[in-house]
Structure 1
Amino acid sequence: MRAEIANFNILVKIRSHFAWFLVAVVVILYYSMMLLIGLAPEFLGLKIGEFPISLGILIGVFIIATCVSVTWLYTYVANTFLDHEFGEATKRLYKADLIDEDGKLKGDNP
């Protein structure tokens, strides 16, 4: 019966690590851009060929696209894998009579 709880805890760890990894990607990108703005504004002002677009604009668009992609990735993984696995794990815990109707572990009530 404790195997069901261990499996559920593993799922929680997987979700948490995945979410924090994606948060780290976004934070690193964002603060890298802020450091470039503060420390190397002339680098961001470089023109790309004959076009009126600077390197800073392209990097900004890249960061926005990456943030949208990271959000899509988390939503996709959560909806296709994590939600299904959490539902199955909750059913197994309920079937093993380890959680109550509120979704709380029965042994954790004070």
Structure 2
Amino acid sequence: MDEAKVERILQNPKFKAMVQKKRNLSWTLTIIMLVVYVGFMLLVGYNKEFLLSSVSGGVTTWGIPLGLGIIVLSFVLCWVYSYIANNTLDQLNAEAIREVEAIAKEKGTH
């Protein structure tokens, strides 16, 4: 594939839309996970007393549900990404691939 065709693919509006949506989604979910995880680590480092305090006067401390919450959040964010990727990004990807294949099949046009 020559450079002119590659450039046409890269300038394809559907390809650009797919790349932009995927980038925005990935960064948004990454930032959410980092903020929660770093927040938890800061809590561990600077406010151990809170994490050691009991949730309801029993033996369960705040550290346990917060730690489990982070694990559950990671699964939820994976599900969110999969759901959006399967329902939105895959459609854009299929449309972009069809157009890319049409561009690749062109013979002799620049």
Please report the TM-score for the alignment, with normalisation by the length of structure 2: 0.79
Q: Is the 8 A contact 2:14 2:92 kept in 1?
A: no
Match status 1:42 vs 2:49: yes
> What secondary structure, in the 3-state scheme, does the structure 2 residue paired with 1:12 have?
helix
Question: What letter corresponds to residue 16 of structure 1 in structure 2?
Answer: R
In the alignment, structure 1 residue 58 sits paired with structure 2 residue 65: yes
Structure 1, unmatched stretches of 5+, are: 101-105
Shift of residue 7, structure 1, vs aligned partner: 2.4
Which residue is equivalent to 1:90? 97
Offset at residue 56 of structure 1 (A): 1.0
Deviates more, 1:18-27 or 1:79-88: 79-88
- Work out the CA distance in 2 between the residues paired with 1:88 and 1:40: 51
Instruction: Show structure 1 runs of 4+ deviating over 4 A.
Output: none
Query: Residues 53-107 of structure 1: CA distance to partner in whole angstroms, max 9, x if unpaired?
Result: 1011111111111111001110111122211220112102322x2x46xxxxx97
- The normalised TM-score by structure 1 is 0.79
Whether contact under 8 Å (2:14, 2:95) holds in the other structure is: no
Q: Distance in 1 between matches of 2:36 and 2:81?
A: 17
Higher relative contact order (CA 8 A, sep 6+): 2
What number of residue pairs does the alignment pair up?
99
* Alignment-mate amino acid for residue 30 of structure 1: Y
Partner of 2:12, secondary structure, is helix
Q: Deviation at 1:48?
A: 1.4
The letter for the 2-side match of 1:44 is L
Mark the runs of 5 or more structure 2 residues left unpaired by the alignment: 1-7
Give 2:101's aligned amino acid: Y
